[in-house]
Amino acid sequence: MARIVGIDLGTTNSLVAYTDAQSGQPKCVPGPYGSTLCPSVLSIDADGSIIVGEPAKRRLLTQPERTIYSVKRLMGRGTADVQSELKLFPFRIDAASKNVIRVRLGDKVFTPPEISAFILRELKNWAEAFFGETVDRAVITVPAYFNDTQRQATKDAGKIAGLEVLRLVNEPTAAALAYGLHEKQRGKVAVYDLGGGTFDISVLKLISTSEGDIYQVLSTNGDTHLGGDDIDNLLQAFVHELILQHDEIDFSPHGELAQELRKALINVKHQLSQSESATLRFPLPSGKVFTHQFTRGALEALTKPVVDRTMAPVKQALADAQLKPGDMDEVVLVGGATRTPLIRRTVQEYFDRKPHTELNPDEVVALGAAVQANILDRGVKNMLLLDVTPLSLGIETYGGAVAKVIPRNSTIPASAQELYTTGVDNQTGIDIHVLQGERELAKDCRSLARFTLKVPPAPAGLPRIEVKFLIDANGILQVAAKDLRNGQQHSIEVQPSYGISDSEIERMLEESIEYAEQDFGERQLIEARTEAESILTATAKALTNPQSASLDAAERARIDATVAALKESVAGSDYKLIRKRIDGLNHATEHLAELLMSSAVSSALEGRKLAEV
Amino acid sequence: MSTVPTSAQAPLVCWNCHERTLGTHFCSSCGKLVQLPQGIDYFSLFEMPRQLWIEMSGLEQKFLQLSWKLHPDNFVNATEQERELSLKRSSELNDAYRTLRDPIARVEYLLAIEGERKEGEKKQQAPPELLEEVFELNESLDELREAKASGTNLAGLKARLESAEKNFQVKLQEVDGELQVTARQWDAALTGDSAARKKIMAKLNELLNRRSYIRNLVTNVAKELGEV
């Protein structure tokens, strides 16, 4: 049977990894641009073709209304859930959407699982090109604190992408698996995982037995709406204010200008992880250039609230595991945002222990997914992962209260049985409302499903129906009912509160196969053209900048010639030629790119391409 | 696979080879994973008597050993029937471990399988010896709510409630201590006559109800104080 891959479906970037048969070590699959990171960005062309990853990311600047990023924030959520996100992210929610969000991209409408499916399909393509064989089974990671509907949405995305999802693994647990192989750790481990859009903390116990290593998760906690994006949002809001003080500008989140500013600020943020100060120089539409000098201290003061918000879940996870910070033998940092010195310092101080950062924080989750894939694939029986459910499962009782039936941090699979009977004679149905969360009232918890148990007419109190709630190894709920009087199994039509129906998934799967029919060469051509378009736009724009006047005539002529050559190749259909000429133009515009940057940052960014500035 | 010595165990026919098998987890003839035999409770799943004092590291080891065998990871390439069975069996194992690991849940479970306590039973009547203190506490809580609504000074009330909370915390510890003593009596009477065991169970049941009542009180007070 074909191999099983491990996939990290991230807010910002996604990766696919496998276990190398010879070394037994997990490795990430490189994409067509050499990087193992596939930006979780999707763009739809005017002709309806789909562009994913790096070329789609470039289109965030040129075609923001046809391009979407951070879609993971919308997975498994309803329109009412995401109102606060809409102020900060350029999501265009279709007016008709209710419990399942529909996002408008150009003239098409997609659900978040469909968009995620395109990203998964891209990674599937990477893996198939790399192995030269079909890949149709995967382990996919999810934030540990994802609820049932968010997990189900992720599983649906896999299905739509033509992947059988054998297991959903929690991201921090995956990271621990990857580190376990790497470091041969024992004892108690805390994994602090701050990604682009989600925060997780997990406490694990690593146990060596005669049969192999067991990774037992003791507790987990987190916030599915807290991540590196929030740091960017704070930074962006701060600079918006400053700019608005001396220029009238439309900073609607959909606009090109906001996207460009965000990109520039992320650059500044990255520089400040390395050096003590960095300067933002941002050309405004008026021709003025906005300049602001940031120190690391100022950035940290600004972003401290985000870091502070991670500490409440950390404390709760430790309390649930009945452990103190000093009980930890190891601390592991995961997620791109943990590169920032403030986070490293905060975590180190709290646990009084230097955290592990040896593995690339962008890759470690995917590597762990590959480890779990290998366990399932080859039946490698030297490791076992015992994970937990992050949230309590409850049933609505009289008066809108919630009775917890499976407490949070229960090892999964986990189950609970509840006995139901009727309250009035000849009652034919019992309404059951299943929820997830820690609050006492149903209205404050996440509604997972409502259904009606059908009961044959009988005197009140006589029917005895046992309902079994089971959370599987993926953290996803299953419900079954049994009539205890005759042992008959009842089938239950569970209408998920926020999910997509099976028939809808079938339809989406068919549609996505149509998209997938585009052959490899065709996709390469589309991507190369998109990339060319993006760099041509960036070059044309750069040449209108006053700074470009200092180019000498020979340089200018060389740029004009390479632009013309690239335009000519785009009209043809040889994607390799287009790629070659893109490289040519990138090379020809290196000096121009440097000119556009402040002298202060140019040294740090030497060798950058124009489209990245 | 060893078998569990329990009188309640019904003979089981293996779903795969149709042999009569006494294996608790795997068929003793063909080795396939089997249904948990009828009447197997959490104690016998872990191959121990219905005792209330449990050595934790032993329980954990047994749990990890069984997890290793029953976990769905082992059955990814098996038939759908075996996958379903492994899901059911490993969830039962996890439920059993979760229950037995917790000293209070363990007593509740024991009383349930002995037929001395109905599922979800919690008497919400105040234990007679606490009546006076509970009455005072509820009065203070009412005053606090009124004071909060009218915005008057809460410092005095707060101090009174905090000391009441402490007082009930102490009572909670006393109940826990009594539970431990009674649990030891239960273990000593395991092989004793049924009348003695019934008496101990009645005591355990009463202690559980008292504990649940006091814990609710403490939670309520803590909540009201937390909102000040």
Kindly report each contact of residues A90-98 with a partner whose C-beta sits within 8 Å and lies 24 or more positions away, as own/partner: A90/A64, A90/A253, A90/A254, A90/A258, A90/A259, A92/A65, A92/A254
User: Residue B70: its chain A contacts at CB < 8 A?
Assistant: none
Annotation says A136 is catalytic: no
Please report the ipTM that was assigned to this predicted complex: 0.84
**Closest CA relative to residue A42, chosen from A564, A570, A512:** A512
Are the beta carbons of B209 and B224 closer than 8 angstroms?
A: no
User: From CA B86, how far away is CA B61, in angstroms rounded?
Assistant: 20
Structure tokens at A204: 């694990």
Measure in Å the smallest separation between the Cα of B9 and chain A Cα atoms.
Answer: 19
User: Residue A376: its chain B contacts at CB < 8 A?
Assistant: 73, 76
Residues paired with residue A103 on neighbouring β-strands, in sequence order: A93, A110
- Residue corresponding to tokens 């033998």: A329
Annotation says A590 is catalytic: no
Peptide bond preceding A285 in cis form (omega within 30 of 0): no
pLDDT at B221: 82
Measure in Å the smallest separation between the Cα of B89 and chain A Cα atoms.
Answer: 9
Rounded to 5°, the CA angle A540-A544-A548 comes to 100
- Residue corresponding to tokens 């403490």: B218
User: From CA A591, how far away is CA A587, in angstroms rounded?
Assistant: 8
A95: left (phi over 0), alpha (psi -120 to 50) or beta: alpha
Kindly tell me if the per-residue pLDDT of A609 is higher than 70.
no
Instruction: Give pLDDT tens digits for A113-167.
Output: 999 999 999 999 999 989 888 899 999 999 999 999 999 999 999 999 999 999 9
Lowest mean pLDDT among A99-103, A275-279, A395-399, B144-148: B144-148
Catalytic hit among A114, A148, A156, A171? A171
User: Residue B72: its chain A contacts at CB < 8 A?
Assistant: 413, 472-473
- pLDDT higher for A315 or A60? A315
- The conformation of residue A388, written as its DSSP 8-state character, comes to B
Question: What are the DSSP calls for A54-85, one per residue?
Answer: HHHHHHHHH-GGGEEE-GGGGTT--GGGGHHH
pLDDT at A323: 96
Task: Say if the Cβ atoms of B94 and A211 lie within 8 Å.
Answer: no
Measure in Å the smallest separation between the Cα of B162 and chain A Cα atoms.
Answer: 23
Low-confidence stretches of chain B (pLDDT < 70) are 1-12, 21-22, 118-125, 227-228
Residues with Cβ within 8 Å of A173's Cβ and at least 6 positions away in sequence, in order, are A144, A191, A202, A204, A215, A217, A368, A385, A387
Instruction: Give pLDDT tens digits for A204-258.
Output: 999 988 888 899 999 999 998 899 888 888 888 888 888 888 777 766 655 678 8
pLDDT at A602: 47
Task: Say if the Cβ atoms of A384 and B90 lie within 8 Å.
Answer: no
Task: Say if the Cβ atoms of A209 and B67 lie within 8 Å.
Answer: no
Annotation says A576 is catalytic: no
Task: Give the residue numbers in A contacting B (CB under 8 Å), as ranges.
Answer: 1, 166-167, 207, 209, 211-212, 214, 216, 375-376, 379, 381, 384-386, 407, 410-416, 419, 470-473
Q: Report the chain B residue with the minimal C-alpha distance to residue A480.
A: B88
Catalytic hit among A54, A193, A387, A594? A193
User: From CA B107, how far away is CA B43, in angstroms rounded?
Assistant: 12
Catalytic hit among A57, A72, A124, A155? A72
Tally A–B CB contacts below 8 A.
61
pLDDT at A380: 63
Residues paired with residue A465 on neighbouring β-strands, in sequence order: A420, A483
Task: Say if the Cβ atoms of A415 and B92 lie within 8 Å.
Answer: yes
pTM (predicted TM-score): 0.82
Average pLDDT, integer, range A372-387? 84
Best probe of the B interface among A206, A210, A376, by most B CBs < 10 A, is: A376
Task: Say if the Cβ atoms of A410 and B94 lie within 8 Å.
Answer: yes
Instruction: Give pLDDT tens digits for A297-349.
Output: 998 998 899 999 999 999 999 999 999 999 999 999 999 889 989 999 999 99
Annotation says A193 is catalytic: yes
Kindly tell me if the per-residue pLDDT of A267 is higher than 60.
yes
